[in-house]
Chains A and B, each alone.
Chain A
Amino acid sequence: METIKADIVIVGGGGAGLRAAIAAAESDTGQSIALVSKVYPMRSHTVAAEGGAAAVTQPQDDLEYHFNDTVAGGDWLCEQDVVEYFVAHAREELVQMEHWGCPWNRKEDGHVNVRAFGGMKIERTWFAADKTGFHMLHTLFQTSIKYPLIKRFDEYFCVDIVVEDGRAQGVVVIEIATGRICFIQARAVVLATGGAARVFRENTNGGIVTGDGMALAYRQGVALRDMEFMQYHPTCMPGTGLLFTEACRGEGGYLINKDGYRFLQDYGLGPPSDEPRNKFMELGPRDRVSQAIWHEKQKGRTIDHPHGQVVHLDMRHLGEKKLRERLPQIYELAEEFMGLDPAHEPIPVLPGAHYTMGGIETDGRTATSLPGLYAVGECASVGIHGANRLGSNSLVELCVFGRVAGDEASSYAKSARNSSTATLEKKADDICNRVRGLVNNANGKERIADIRNEMAKSMEEGCGIYRNAPVMQKTCDKLEELKQRYRSINIEDKSSAWNTEWLLAIELGYLLDVAQAVACSAINRKESRGSHQRLDGYEQRDDQNYLKHTLARYNSEGPPGIEYSKVKITKSEPGIRAYGEAGEKAEAERNKKKGAAHDK
């Protein structure tokens, strides 16, 4: 097996991985960076992000507001010191993206323009039409080419982290085109492998979003934090789950039920107005909007569709011109994938699994509990999303914390020493044999697709928008069963070059572990908070017992161990999380209290 030496290895060429690589390359250490990605970086799923990236920009806005929106949006399960750092560094990172060439939409005077987004008090979402992630990713990828210290390993698939002497010291990868396995030795390892929403059936994620880095860190004993919080996006294409960005509503689109009624007013988000109003109605947070759709379905007020019960996203009143200018990709998706013209017909939509709020537990500087191992982006839980992420916070997270990860990994690598190469190669060899064994011994009769589909269906039933113990338990049991069956999986393809069946099998292993962490974390949280909503006697938030992070710990013998850790509160005590008119009242109350405290 070949050994490749680098100072730092980054697994993941999405927004987070690329930003980390550039930061490391810009540090003054002259360290070499191996950037590993199972697809060419510009294919990473950051490419699919549509709506935009949030940073305090307008004079009437304030870091305090962005902080409050984020913490209340996360139902107070955020690490508040980390959120403070995040909002304070958001704008400079987006300006940095601008300097690197990102084609942000502009105002007439040439300054960057912002749009409204759900759960945000003031418009602060920077956007590049409705292809923000695409433009950010290509900008980062193309900019990374400037740095000779970044050596890319495009289409290399990571199968494990090499841990020796209690530290991460490299990764083992498959060169996909040849099937060759190599060891990349490094003194610091950064995971930036993205989310895991493919554990669900109806989802907005690309085929590559299979939780790989989460599973790898988890199997090495690093905790997965807050995995029960999976975000359902309210407006997805029935059947495929493809996303219609929240910007559709930010630009003024309505959600209506089968009677043409803007039903969100019945769920504490009203009163309705014709023009979009921040934190009201369609600009409520995603968890609340998805939950409202679920209730409409129970009330029989949704619309029959071949792929399930839907509501309508109505943008007809915005007119073709505005839609083509601000939402061209949405127009294209509606026209080409659904054969309808959104300027003249409403779009049928339903909620789909979208974003993994939880992830690999890190501190505010992206370090995990395993020395030398860092995690960043959607695969990580750095602490800013809590129980529900606000749209347009995560693209910024990639930049703000990608940079931190690059800096931290490079200063760690400066002082760390590798164990002897021979010792590390021995470990890598064992991993190599295990991974090859998977394909050579896979002569069972279980079909990859069957296990994957049964998992995704069971996750949707047990860990969907509303949850209760019996169904969650069924999902937990099902996952145990599927993990057993996974052992007698069949891989027909025994070849080396581009053996994608082998890769699918490995990914399925990752998915099953991550799914189990989600389901077991969920069943143990006996309250309702943010995107975790229960209907079995735990309908309320319970700060007494559950103002805590869940930590799921891997157990090779069965379900994970569940522990809890404290939430860092600096300046925002848990309060009533309300939107619409009620939200305004709650905010006035809070300000009054604060004012009174000041007067004392």
Chain B
Amino acid sequence: MTSNDKIIEIEVLRYRPEQDEKPFLQSFKVPFTDDQSVLQGVQYIKDYLDGSLSFRWSCRMAICGSCGMMINGVPKLSCKTFLREYYPGKITLEALKHFPIEKDLIIDLSDFINKLESIKPYIIPAAPRTLEQGEYLQTPRQLDRIAQFSSCINCMLCYAACPQYGLKPDYLGPAAITLLHRYNEDNRDAAKAERMQLLNAHEGVWGCTLVGYCSDVCPKDVDPAAAINRNKLNSTMDYFLRFVAPRGGN
């Protein structure tokens, strides 16, 4: 067995809506081994130091998207960030930036969920196929166009990184635009024009000022900034085509 000989200080921004007027920092001393994640650190706090500390987690393997938090000011997945990287310094944990806090490290996600639902994130085919007709054909090259953009785990790190989302909460934001792009680029789908109307409406894609921090923090190499950029171009085309074509330009 590995021994827990090292102790790290973890400071957590607490907020309990029924008791606290405003958030406050609380510090804990946590024994750890080199292979332990920040998530395991907060689990230790919950199990042995303060049972009321609340945070989301499930898979422990960077795929369910639950465990994002600000770790020393940077949005990260706590299950794949390791305590050793911060030792002997201390770690400060806060809820993801730009979201309302429900309790401690738990944010209110409903704004994003509404956005995700609004962009028609499903295949709308030109002519539906029956099951007997078998699968649509999609070459590896066509799959490549959507593979990366369909790898988003909805972890919200990019929203916590996005200065525009902080200023204009109406902005669709990196992950929602990426998902929209993923369906638009799918050769099985025929609803690009519908979705582009959504994108061109109010704060669709124009909120972005090309900071690119979203792609830096993305734990799954989705590169949302690339999706946004391509849609800025698409949107510009659309905008001008609007004057020549009857309904959008697609």
Contacts and interface: CB of A to CB of B under 8 A. Distances in A.
Interface of A: 39-40, 42-45, 47-48, 92, 95-96, 98-101, 103-112, 129, 131, 134-135, 138, 142-143, 145-146, 154, 177, 206-208, 239-240, 242-243, 306-307, 329, 332-333, 336-338, 447-449, 490-493, 495-501
A240 B80 CA distance: 12
Nearest to A495: B18
Interface of B: 1-2, 16-19, 35, 46-48, 50-52, 54-66, 80, 102-104, 106, 108-109, 113, 116-117, 121-123, 125, 128-129, 131, 134-140, 142-143, 146-147, 150-151, 153-154, 179, 183, 186, 188-189
B51 A501 contact: yes
A131 B52 contact: no
Given A42-B65, A493-B51, A498-B102, A99 B136 contact: yes
**Counting chain B CB atoms within 10 Å of each CB, which of A138, A142, A333, A447 scores highest?**
A142
Contacts of A240: 60
A98 B59 contact: no
A498 B16 CA distance: 9
Contacts of B80: 336-337
Contacts of A110: 137-139, 142
A177 B102 contact: yes
A99 B123 contact: yes
A131 B220 CA distance: 12
A45 B186 contact: no
Given A138-B150, A142-B122, A206-B64, A497 B18 contact: yes
Given A45-B59, A110-B137, A492-B50, 8 more contacts: A43-B58, A106-B138, A106-B143, A131-B151, A134-B153, A177-B108, A206-B58, A490-B51
B122 A143 contact: yes
A104 B135 CA distance: 10
26 contacts: A40-B154, A43-B65, A44-B64, A48-B64, A99-B123, A99-B128, A99-B136, A100-B122, A105-B143, A108-B139, A108-B140, A111-B137, A112-B135, A142-B121, A145-B121, A177-B108, A240-B60, A307-B1, A338-B35, A449-B47, A449-B48, A490-B51, A491-B51, A497-B102, A498-B103, A500-B54
Contacts of A492: 50-52
A332 B62 contact: yes
A265 to B, nearest CB: 31
Contacts of A306: 1-2, 35
B63 A208 contact: no
A92 B131 contact: yes
Contacts of B135: 95, 98-99, 104, 111-112
A103 B58 contact: no
Contacts of B35: 239, 306, 337-338
A96 B139 contact: no
A145 B122 contact: yes
A499 B134 CA distance: 48
A146 B52 contact: no
A106 B186 CA distance: 14
A216 B52 CA distance: 26
Contacts of B51: 448, 490-493, 501
B139 A493 contact: no
A495 B19 CA distance: 9
By Cβ-Cβ distance, the 3 closest A-B pairs, closest first, are: A110-B137, A449-B47, A493-B52
Contacts of A243: 61
Nearest to A503: B54
B137 A109 contact: yes
A109 B138 CA distance: 8
Contacts of A501: 46, 51-52
B134 A95 contact: yes
Contacts of A496: 18
Given A40-B109, A306-B1, A498-B106, A103 B146 contact: yes
Contacts of B137: 109-111
A320 to B, nearest CB: 16
Contacts of A206: 58-60, 64
Contacts of B154: 40, 42
Nearest to B18: A495
A48 B108 CA distance: 24
Contact of A329 (B50, B63, B108): B63
Contacts of B54: 498-500
Given A106-B143, A145-B117, A48 B123 contact: no
Nearest to A204: B61
Given A110-B139, A449-B48, A101 B109 contact: no
Nearest to A207: B58
B139 A208 contact: no
A190 B117 CA distance: 24
A400 B233 CA distance: 42
Contacts of A45: 58-59, 64
B56 to A, nearest CB: 8
**Counting chain A CB atoms within 10 Å of each CB, which of B128, B129, B134, B142 scores highest?**
B134
Contact of B140 (A92, A101, A106): A106
A447 B50 CA distance: 11
Contacts of B16: 495, 497
A208 B67 CA distance: 13
A331 to B, nearest CB: 12
Contacts of B103: 497-498
